[in-house]
Amino acid sequence: MKIRTITTGIPLPFSPYQLQRAAKFNTACQTYFEANGYEVQTTRVSCQIWDEKREIDTILRLESEAQALGIEFLNLGTILPGKRYTETHLAHIADVIVQSETLFATVTLTTPSGDVASDIAESVARIIRQIAHQTDAGYGNLRFAALMNCPPNTPFFPAAYWHDTRTNFGIGWQAADLVQHAFTDAPNLDTALRNLKTVMETEGKKIVALAETLAQEWGIRFVGIDVSPAPMGDESIAYAMEQQLPGYFGQRGTLRVAAGLTQTLKSLDLPLCGYSGLMLPVLEDVGLGARSEAGYFNLDSLLLYSTVCGTGLDTIPIPGDASISQIAAILTDVATLSIRLSKPLSVRLFPVPGCDADCLTEFDSPYLTNTTVMEI
């Protein structure tokens, strides 16, 4: 079991002191967890979109300042609808993503009153298209997402954004291997889920104890673990789920396993944060990519699974010529689902320039697999 990320949240990235302290804390966390037998894949810093104007050059300087401190992933946070500078930030965000390599950002498409922020949905769709056509193969959309009812202080990117009274930190684990272990050779799904609960609580309590020691030493609040089993490389959530399916991921029975998994994650006796639900990132999971290419599921299937999962539509390759109105319609569909079900969802779409539906992607990245572009 690996730790995918230790994410420190700070109020203001433009403060040299806050950035420096976050960098030192992340280094201390990584050293401490690795000394206790855990591989830490990344450490990250998140903040909140500021309620004032900033020039693009000022924002981009953050990247070099963060990198000088050893911060490889910096999330600018989420742009909220209806704020004084919402339109200004929306006008800048695509250029920030295009002109940087390690900066992340999001836009929230739901309002506190429970409505879809439809007035900015097309702006978000336009941002997605601009990033797609101004970065290599549209790869920049790895660092941008639309959020719906997502809570603050989640450790996973790009959804992470800070909202607290002080600096805090959270942990996101990988844990797809824990699902594989619990599901393999279990005689039925109920037994598999009981196995999973036991193994995750056992592992989680060890991590929490270490995190709380660090929190006390540094005076930085620990917000919890996002227990979503994040896939990477050969550790596929699709292949793990197939241990309790009669066939392949996407075929009959998938919804039940997805619902059972998420329900079990929500029930863990651990301090939870973030999504803490099933993630299905198509371009980040070898098994999901293979099953998508074989035609076992589509965009509508993923929308169905979103009703019982944790994240929504994540890393979905779509045709490069998808229009702004088509992309906006996908965004508002997911936002509507999020509102009706009162649950956090997000959307990360990858329009692939030059590719139609059924075209095979050609990403050259350690973070992405390749699969066929989905029809929308």
Q: What ranges do the domains of the chain cover? A: 3-148
**Fold adopted by 3-148:** Anaerobic Ribonucleotide-triphosphate Reductase Large Chain (3.20.70)
The CA distance from 368 to 70, in Å, is 23
Which ranges of the chain have pLDDT less than 50? none
Residue 50: what pLDDT? Answer: 80
> What pLDDT score does 56 carry?
92
Distance CA 202, CA 214 (A): 19
What is the largest distance, in Å, between two alpha-carbon atoms of the chain?
Answer: 59
3-state secondary structure of 248: coil
The alpha carbon dihedral of 4, 64, 79, 329 has a sign of: negative
- Specify the DSSP element, H or E, that contains 352: strand 345-352
155-198 pLDDT, tens digit each? 999 999 999 989 999 999 999 999 999 999 999 999 999 999 99
To which residue do tokens 């002109």 refer? 99
* The pLDDT value given to residue 27: 98
Would you state the pLDDT for residue 36?
A: 98
Distance CA 134, CA 353 (A): 9
How high is the pLDDT of residue 176?
95
Q: What pLDDT does 175 receive? A: 94
Predicted confidence at residue 232, as pLDDT, reads 83
